[in-house]
Amino acid sequence: MDVILKKILYVIIVLSIFYPLHSFCQERKIIEIIEAGRFTKDEDKYPKANILSKGDNLRVKLFHDGAIITSDKTFFYSKENRFNANGSVLLKQGDTLELKSQYLKYNGDEGKAKAWGKVVLKQPDMTLKTDTLYLDRILNIAYYDSNGIIEDEENLLRSKKGRYFINNKKYSFKTGVKINNPRYDIESENLDYNLISKNALFFGPTLITGNDYEIHCEKGNFDLRSSIGNFQKNPKIFYNNKIIEGDSLFYNESINYASASRRVIITDTINKSILRGEYGEVYKDKDSAIITKRALAINIIENDSLYIHADTLIGTGPPDKRILRGYYGVKILKSDIRGISDSIYFDESKGKIELHKKPLSKKQIQILSLRSRLKLNPVIWFNDSQMSGNEIYLLTDLKTRKLDSLLIFGNTFVIDQDSINKNNYNQIEGMDLNGDFINGGLNNLQVLKNIKVIYYLYNDKGDLIGIDKTICSELKIKLESNEIKNITFYTSPEGNVHPEDKLDPNLKLLEGFIWRKSERPESLDDLFK
């Protein structure tokens, strides 16, 4: 027997360590009557109820677990430790919580209340209004499912359903959630809001509308004081005539700044141009957008997409004066045009594209060979024709949005792979080049200053006649389908036609010849290689 008692005592001791005694048997907190004007009973209508009514300048006042409940009339069931209160009901818990309603049903053992009829729940920093409110005083949770309105210092919040965690000062809203702030409006289907931090969390389709922006997302958070937010799951920012998309978006209203990460798309809705990449930033005050990491710009020329890739792309200026700049490893791709350069300048308002090389240092100028320097020049391809120079300009007709002209300045070099014999190359070396387009294709070219030419001549049967080697100060080229058809020399040309077998193979290539077809991008994937 002693052994059994010892075991029982041991179990009790263990349980008392891990589970305090009050968890097994909590002290029952009885509802107390503080005062009332009248006291009656009506067993027929209200069996077991004590009917407490106001009178003689006294209202009904009850006390339970730190709360005072005041009303005009109360049906008090003492044995069941509950009551039903009617008429200007007020539940006050210290200085921190005040609940007003027309009716209140309260269970002291459960610590639960139901209030209805013009319900107002107040705390020092917020007011909640609804038709029906449920209060759990043990868990300190209040909730409603019949539309509620919450006001704090700056915000007005509405929802069909809401749950308020009193200790944490946190709301959980569902269905038809709306927040009105002097600076913005928020609509959501599922939103958590912290009264202390003023931070809102979204867990469903959400729209934030500011004075000059819109934010769409299905997940995220937004600081209602600072207007700073992070957004995920199909987020979009409509901002300054731009649409910003990405897997994750950040926005700061105070500095007019937005950024995006992963699968980023920045759309210019005015110019109908697009920037893509893995990271992007938009600065409203500077009217600029920056995109990096697999950066890609898409513009429409001749009803055809022009793709521009660079390590970094920057779009600046208002819609009518938009300028795109690209730096490092520039590649361009269009159905009939390919190009590479160190940097690019695209003035959309003027329809002008500039391809530039990286400026050479004094040391590079001294130690690099001519061939090494020329390898750094920008290059553009039209079908099998390759053109390079210190600077390359493409001009577009703004009315037709078609290519209008081509300009090359400094160290111009044109290489056209022979259509009959792919091992042969027609070559033109000069200082500058002017060209024009007709129906999207190069039509005429003019080359100026210090010109050297190597050109393969064929008869009508396609037999090689010879190789024309000429120098002059000016020449004009007629093209069809971007291929050289004839060359006209001006200003004291000097040259001869050499039979192929009589010409030294080393003389078939001009000094600056560099065939760079291996660098030429042929597809979108090539832009990122």
Q: CA-to-CA distance for 228 and 319, rounded, in angstroms?
A: 26
For range 78-96, the mean pLDDT: 92
Q: Whose CA is closest to 488, among 472, 500, 499?
A: 472
pLDDT of residue 442: 82
- Percentage with pLDDT > 90 across the chain: 60
Categorize the per-residue pLDDT at 515 as very low, low, confident or very high, splitting at 50, 70 and 90.
Answer: very high
Q: Whose CA is closest to 422, among 456, 452, 445?
A: 456
pLDDT digits (tens, 9 = 90+) for 186-216: 999 999 999 889 999 999 999 999 988 999 9
Mean pLDDT is lowest, of 59-63, 195-199, 368-372, 444-448, for 368-372
Domains of the chain: 360-529 (2.60.450.10)
For range 468-472, the mean pLDDT: 90
For range 116-140, the mean pLDDT: 93
DSSP letter (8 states) at residue 157: E
Q: Could you tell me which residues are beta bridge partners of residue 282?
A: 258, 289
For range 448-452, the mean pLDDT: 92
pTM of the model: 0.81
pLDDT digits (tens, 9 = 90+) for 167-184: 899 999 999 999 999 999
Categorize the per-residue pLDDT at 333 as very low, low, confident or very high, splitting at 50, 70 and 90.
Answer: very high
Mean pLDDT, the chain, integer: 88
Mean pLDDT is lowest, of 16-25, 66-75, 99-108, 402-411, for 16-25
pLDDT of residue 6: 41
Confirm if 116 and 101 have CB atoms less than 8 A apart. yes
pLDDT of residue 243: 92
Categorize the per-residue pLDDT at 163 as very low, low, confident or very high, splitting at 50, 70 and 90.
Answer: very high
- Top-confidence residue, 478 or 103: 103
Statement: residue 11 has pLDDT above 90: no
* Residue type, position 18, single letter: F
Statement: residue 265 has pLDDT above 50: yes
pLDDT of residue 482: 63
Most confident of 361-365, 366-370, 523-527: 523-527
DSSP letter (8 states) at residue 30: -
pLDDT of residue 400: 77
Q: Whose CA is closest to 251, among 272, 274, 287, 280?
A: 280
Statement: residue 14 has pLDDT above 50: no
For range 410-429, the mean pLDDT: 89
pLDDT digits (tens, 9 = 90+) for 33-76: 999 989 999 888 889 899 999 988 899 999 999 999 999 999 99
3-state secondary structure string across 374-425: HCCCCEEEECCEEEECCEEEEEEECCCCEEEEEEEEEEEEEEEECCCCCCCE
Confirm if 322 and 271 have CB atoms less than 8 A apart. yes
> Encoding tokens for residue 430?
């000069």
pLDDT of residue 370: 81
- The widest CA-to-CA distance across the chain, in whole angstroms, is 132
For range 271-298, the mean pLDDT: 92
For range 107-126, the mean pLDDT: 93
3-state secondary structure string across 229-257: EEEECCCEEEECCEEEECCEEEEECCCCE
Statement: residue 151 has pLDDT above 60: yes
Confirm if 429 and 417 have CB atoms less than 8 A apart. no
Place of tokens 């922006």: 213
For range 270-284, the mean pLDDT: 90
DSSP letter (8 states) at residue 518: G
Statement: residue 469 has pLDDT above 60: yes
Categorize the per-residue pLDDT at 26 as very low, low, confident or very high, splitting at 50, 70 and 90.
Answer: low
Categorize the per-residue pLDDT at 275 as very low, low, confident or very high, splitting at 50, 70 and 90.
Answer: very high
Alpha carbon distances (Å) from 119 to 33, 112, 182:
23, 16, 26
pLDDT of residue 519: 93
Confirm if 52 and 34 have CB atoms less than 8 A apart. no
